[in-house]
Amino acid sequence: MSSVKVLITDPINEILIKTLKEKGAEVDYRPEIERKELLDIIENYEVLVVRSRTKVDKDVIERGKNLKIIARAGIGLDNIDTDETDKRGIKVVYAPGASTDSAVELTIGLMIAAARKMHAAMNLAKSGIFKKLEGVELAGKTIGIIGYGRIGTKVGIIANAMGMRVLAYDVVDIREKAEKLNAKVVTLDELVKESDVISLHVTVGKNAKPILDRDKFEKMKNNVIIVNTSRAVSVDGKALLEYIKSGKVLAYATDVFWNEPPKEEWELELLKHERVIVTPHIGAQTKEAQQRVAEITLQNLLAAMKELGMI
């Protein structure tokens, strides 16, 4: 496998780098490479490994004339133009499910933080002001889970154990699974009307229409809490800002933003709002998840290389 050249353009667990080298690959580890340089050198590599920072769009793929495999060390492929890879016959591998537990734990943490106004309370306390801010209990409340897959299902199980009523919505048939897990399957309109907390767990393209648009915001309860650890574009950000400012949305707790870091004026206003809690896309950023991501990505990458006769 000595002739196989691998380019890694994002920080990755060293197990992947070490194993590829042990297999005889020529590994070029460039975790801070800029886009211009990437475009200049990508034609020299047969394998590209990325995480979230590197955007593998049409330009990168077209310049990568010798690319045979693109591996994403993550659970989704939203930063890879899979239409273009399909056209070019480039295999794409990733690590679905590797960071499920980490994402679930962050979701629950954000939900509790929003309900108890922890962000504001901690900021006050650290500035020397010990003021008791009144929050809300989650026990007895209704959580609506949009996207009842691996992550959404586990969030529902934990929420139910906390005494919450669980509603679930998905575009696929989830009735059998939901019934076993004490969740009620509803339409999207029913979910937004009945939920005290709405938690998003969906995979959508960057140009997809928002799931929570102005129509859905109008149908929500007053003082609803929205948690988003999946995709920013699943929420109409400008509408969200309006409903946060009006007070209808009690809190928005998110691990994802439309631009990371935010750059639009409305994004920056949301970012600074006292009832918006933001973490910098850390859903999978645990030691355990990153180890699993690297191991599963490596396993799938080696399988693809074997299939293509590269090893």
Supply the range of the domain harboring residue 297: 5-96+288-307
Q: Looking at the predicted structure, is the pLDDT value of residue 205 above 80?
A: no
* Two structure tokens written together for 139: 């026990």
Cβ-in-10-Å burial (0-12, 13-18, 19+) of 166 comes to buried
How far is Cα 88 from Cα 86, in angstroms, rounded to an integer? 5
Q: Do residue 131 and residue 212 come from a single domain?
A: yes
Looking at the fold, whether 127 and 236 belong to one and the same domain comes out as: yes
Domain total in the chain: 2
Global confidence as pTM: 0.88
User: Active-site residue among 30, 116, 281, 295?
Assistant: 281
Say which residue the tokens 């005290």 belong to.
Answer: 196
pLDDT the model gives residue 75: 84
Mean pLDDT computed over 14-39: 95
pLDDT score at 204: 81
H or E stretch including 228?
strand 224-228
List pLDDT tens digits, range 42-77: 999 999 999 989 999 999 999 999 999 999 998 888
Residues 199, 296 within the same domain: no
Indicate which residue of 34, 37, 260, 288 is catalytic: 260
The tens digit of pLDDT for each residue in 81-118 reads 999 999 999 999 999 889 999 999 999 999 999 999 99
Distance between CA atoms of 88 and 72, rounded to whole angstroms?
A: 17
Residue 231 among the catalytic residues = yes
pLDDT single digits (tens) 212-221: 999 999 999 9
Query: Are 72 and 117 within one domain?
Result: no
**Three-class secondary structure of residue 158 per DSSP:** helix
Contacts of residue 63, defined as CB under 8 A and 6 or more positions apart, other chains included, come to 39, 42, 43
Percentage with pLDDT > 90 across the chain: 92
Is 34 noted as a catalytic residue in this protein? no
Domain at 29, CATH number: 3.40.50.720
Residue range 274-298: average pLDDT? Answer: 94
The DSSP string of 111-132 is: HHHHHTTHHHHHHHHHTT----
Least trusted range by pLDDT, from 22-26, 112-116, 128-132, 275-279: 22-26
281 is known as an active-site residue: yes
- Strand, helix or coil at 154? helix
What span, in angstroms and rounded, lies between the C-alpha atoms of 301 and 13?
Answer: 14
Is-contact 251 277, C-beta < 8 A?
Answer: yes
**Does residue 214 sit in the same domain as residue 302?**
no
